[in-house]
Structure 1
Amino acid sequence: MAVHRQPGTVLTDHTFTVPLDHGAPDGEQIEIYAREVVAPGREHDRLPWLLYLQGGPGGRSPRPLGADGWLPRALQDYRVLLLDQRGTGRSSPASRQTLPARGDAAAQADYLAHFRADSIVRDCEVIRRGLVGEDERWSVLGQSFGGFCAITYLSFAAEGLREVLITGGLPGLRSSADDVYRAAYPRIEHKNLAHYERYPDDIQVVREIVRLLDGSEAALPGGGRLTPEAFQSLGLMLGSGNGSHTLHYLIEDAFVPGQSRPVLSDSFLSEVQGHLSFAGNPLYAVLHEATYGQRSVSPDGTGWAAERVRGSFPQFEARGRLAGEEPVLFTGETIHPWMFTTDPALSPLRETAELLARREQWPDLYDPAQLARNEVPVAAAIYHDDMYVDTADSLATARTVRNLRTWVTDEYEHDGLRVSGGQVLDRLVRMVRGEI
């Protein structure tokens, strides 16, 4: 095991072997990577473990740069394990570069069907028993999709849990993908209107960008294509604390000054490329809607729900907005089939994604009956104006999970854990201990 030291932290690499399919434990095995983090001088202390489950799906665990973000608060009480969930980071990564070795698109889809929250939780249990001990419980901190995983954990393997902390990640237990997006588009529209109220000059610039792209899509430096729909998807950033400001600064540098006709600047296209490419987390696109698939809720699968539901919200049709004077609306956390034609990191996975969208009878991810009798202490931060996770769904779930306490706040957006300097984590720790 490699050990590294950074200011304020001691980092230890761990690699584990787990079954691809936990229903066939003697079958194919994959590797899972995790990074242990502990405060200097406490390497040999008997500290409780805190497993961190990252948002996503498809997001690797954070790469710490010393004691930054929420880590200093966590390291006061815990030995932290930053898990690269299966298929991400250093855990048997799944991408356009690795998946062809599985075979054709059907084989790839069958493989990726094992990369949802239920399999991640079973991985965690293998790791817990090997690292912490068969009879030792650990704590879990779940951010966003990591919170979804934590609720799956409570549903099917609560015996491994000491306490659970969730930030922006209480899912709707009975919400289909269609339900999720029918609730999401109005929230996204609200975030757009708030952005344009803050930066009214962006209204005209965005219209000019869309008009230009409607006439001739632009080539991105990484080989992708910038279409009006792709440009709209930059609205994903509107759900973070500084996302509106970041989007504004991007928009204000869109055009090369002093030209006889509108020309998109290289700096703009380069920055857009960084925001739009799924090269670093392809599973986010490939498996996003599958995270909502449950046979008891939507036995027919997800079927590109975000694209289908968008038809009920014509205000998001960019070209239609150009015909009038209303601002063009950005979209948000929505995945669409066209992304698998405009992004080179996704285009080889187009057929695989199509098969996953058509896949039926996804296993259930939550057990409401078990959650109703839950005995593990749970504390959850619910962000009142969260663009990514529906507040009504989160509150409904909170009411059905026994032993769960909520903190509803509009002080932070969805990224509150990361940007609060440990304050969000500190409050949840004190809540789960009954100190507040």
Structure 2
Amino acid sequence: MQSAFRRPGFVCADHVLEVPLDHADPAGSTIEIYAREVVAPGREDDDLPWLLFLQGGPGHQATRPGADPGAWLARALQEYRVLLLDQRGTGRSTPANRQTLPQDPAEAAAYLRHFRADSIVRDAELLRQRLIGDRPWSVLGQSYGGFCAVTYLSLAPEGLREAFITGGLPSLTAGADEVYRAAYPRVLAANERYFERYPGDQDVVRRIVDHLGEHDVRLPDGERLTARRFQTLGLGLGSSVQFDNLHYLLEEAFIGRGQLSDTFLHKVHASVSYAPRPIYALLHEAIYCQGTASRWSAQRVLDEFPQFALDGDGPVRFVGEMIYPWFFEEDPALRPLRECADLLASYEEWPGLYDVGRLAANTVPAAAAVYHDDMYVDRDHSLQTADAIAGLRTWVTNEYAHNGLSADARVLDRLIAMVRGQV
């Protein structure tokens, strides 16, 4: 194997493949897909089974070996040749952002309609055929990557040897409104856990919201930090790492006479800017749409939960994994894409992502970790889907948060054992 680089624990190689933008039109325009092959040192020439890793998202690049926390990778390399796919539009694949998308909003929206799980799976199949021909490979899907894995089981199960899913069993039928009606109470529960651990932060958060309402506070990019943008820092409350990092961020909020510190503002900017992940903002609601439009579901459903209101002097509660239309007014990386985002939110012809009949007849060995208190993926939706996939073994646990796969190698270890009938 020709290596792109070596470092302790990893030997890596690059793979780039030209694929159709629209797999229904293979003779049409194309984009590039990038994937990084990773193997344990000394095993470069071994005939190892392949494991495709599908990252969470949508719109997040794949794990970077040695740079991202990924306890699972060392476990996987004990017996697999791992392929880290930058899903279309992310990382080193042909980028999709304000700098590269068509300037015409309608053209940009039409382009992005090909960036959901169905297209990602078809990209993966072309990669598989290029790398190992007719041999099937294994897939590991984390979070949204698990959604993609279920789509894989629906569209191309012949390409799979086995499937592992962590925190990513989607509802097969729920639309965006149902997803967010279930999500907001879980976010409130995560807030309660947070403020129970850090009760003093309630006053700090209220003070910051009041300060932002009374002062024109600017982020490092010159944009104003509004109270509602600050409120989106709850996105990380479902991760065991980010849960505590929020507290350490708030510790550094004020400096001097009621002034927000530069340290705080720089870290907030890194959290609230969608410059590294515009697809996340553009398509997050669309991943739940099958024959329906989202019509800015998270914003509409928010009105049903007054606990998140910022006015008055009551307790402030952070919002979670929700995208709101005003993001495209306040974030410079998203502002040029506002009309495109509106078109995507109103689009009704999204094709189906799951084949219920095929899943009911599934023969691919599969196992899924369902995190009991997962803030991002509804437990009940996941268990309904587990019941609908023949042969899928499910492990329900409250030992881990949504990031259990990256936090502890035992998560993947258990799933492998489940698929093999060892536990």
Indicate whether the TM-score tops 0.5. yes
1:429 aligns with 2:413: no
Is this contact kept in 2: 1:223–1:344, CA < 8 A?
no
Whichever residue aligns with residue 427 of structure 1, its letter is R
- Residue matched to 2:73: 71
Whichever residue aligns with residue 395 of structure 1, its letter is L
Whichever residue aligns with residue 164 of structure 2, its letter is L
Is this contact kept in 1: 2:62–2:84, CA < 8 A?
yes
Whichever residue aligns with residue 318 of structure 1, its letter is L
For 1:244 and 1:378, locate their aligned partners in 2 and report how far apart those are by CA, in whole Å. 30
**CA positional deviation for 1:223:** 2.9
- Residue matched to 1:10: 11
- Within 5 A, what are the aligned runs for 1:29-428? 29-65=30-66, 69-99=71-101, 102-133=102-133, 135-257=134-256, 259=257, 262-295=258-291, 299=292, 301-320=293-312, 322=313, 326-420=314-408, 422-428=409-415
For 2:193 and 2:9, locate their aligned partners in 1 and report how far apart those are by CA, in whole Å. 39
For 2:65 and 2:78, locate their aligned partners in 1 and report how far apart those are by CA, in whole Å. 16
Is this contact kept in 2: 1:53–1:146, CA < 8 A?
yes
**CA positional deviation for 1:38:** 0.4
2:259 match: secondary structure: coil
1:139 match: secondary structure: strand
For 2:371 and 2:260, locate their aligned partners in 1 and report how far apart those are by CA, in whole Å. 36
1:224–1:377 CA distance, 2 compared to 1 (3 A): farther
**CA positional deviation for 1:64:** 0.6
For 1:384 and 1:241, locate their aligned partners in 2 and report how far apart those are by CA, in whole Å. 14
2:139 match: secondary structure: strand
Is this contact kept in 1: 2:70–2:406, CA < 8 A?
no
1:37–1:195 CA distance, 2 compared to 1 (3 A): same
2:400 match: secondary structure: coil
Gaps of 5+ in 1: none
**CA positional deviation for 1:217:** 4.1
TM-score by length of 1: 0.95
**CA positional deviation for 1:235:** 0.3
**CA positional deviation for 1:88:** 0.2
Whichever residue aligns with residue 208 of structure 2, its letter is I
**CA positional deviation for 1:213:** 1.0
1:60 match: secondary structure: coil
Whichever residue aligns with residue 319 of structure 1, its letter is D
**CA positional deviation for 1:216:** 2.8
Encode CA deviations 1:390-420: one digit per residue, 9 max, x unaligned: 0010011001100100111111100000111
For 1:30 and 1:223, locate their aligned partners in 2 and report how far apart those are by CA, in whole Å. 34
For 1:69 and 1:96, locate their aligned partners in 2 and report how far apart those are by CA, in whole Å. 33
For 1:273 and 1:394, locate their aligned partners in 2 and report how far apart those are by CA, in whole Å. 33
Is this contact kept in 2: 1:225–1:343, CA < 8 A?
no
For 2:259 and 2:231, locate their aligned partners in 1 and report how far apart those are by CA, in whole Å. 18
The runs of at least 4 aligned residues of structure 1 exceeding 4 Å deviation read none
**CA positional deviation for 1:222:** 2.1
TM-score by length of 2: 0.98
Whichever residue aligns with residue 428 of structure 1, its letter is L
**CA positional deviation for 1:245:** 1.4
For 1:376 and 1:282, locate their aligned partners in 2 and report how far apart those are by CA, in whole Å. 34
1:214–1:385 CA distance, 2 compared to 1 (3 A): same
**CA positional deviation for 1:103:** 3.7
For 1:206 and 1:40, locate their aligned partners in 2 and report how far apart those are by CA, in whole Å. 48
For 1:353 and 1:364, locate their aligned partners in 2 and report how far apart those are by CA, in whole Å. 20
Encode CA deviations 1:288-308: one digit per residue, 9 max, x unaligned: 00101101xxx3x00100000
Whichever residue aligns with residue 180 of structure 2, its letter is Y
Is this contact kept in 1: 2:138–2:163, CA < 8 A?
yes
1:217–1:144 CA distance, 2 compared to 1 (3 A): farther
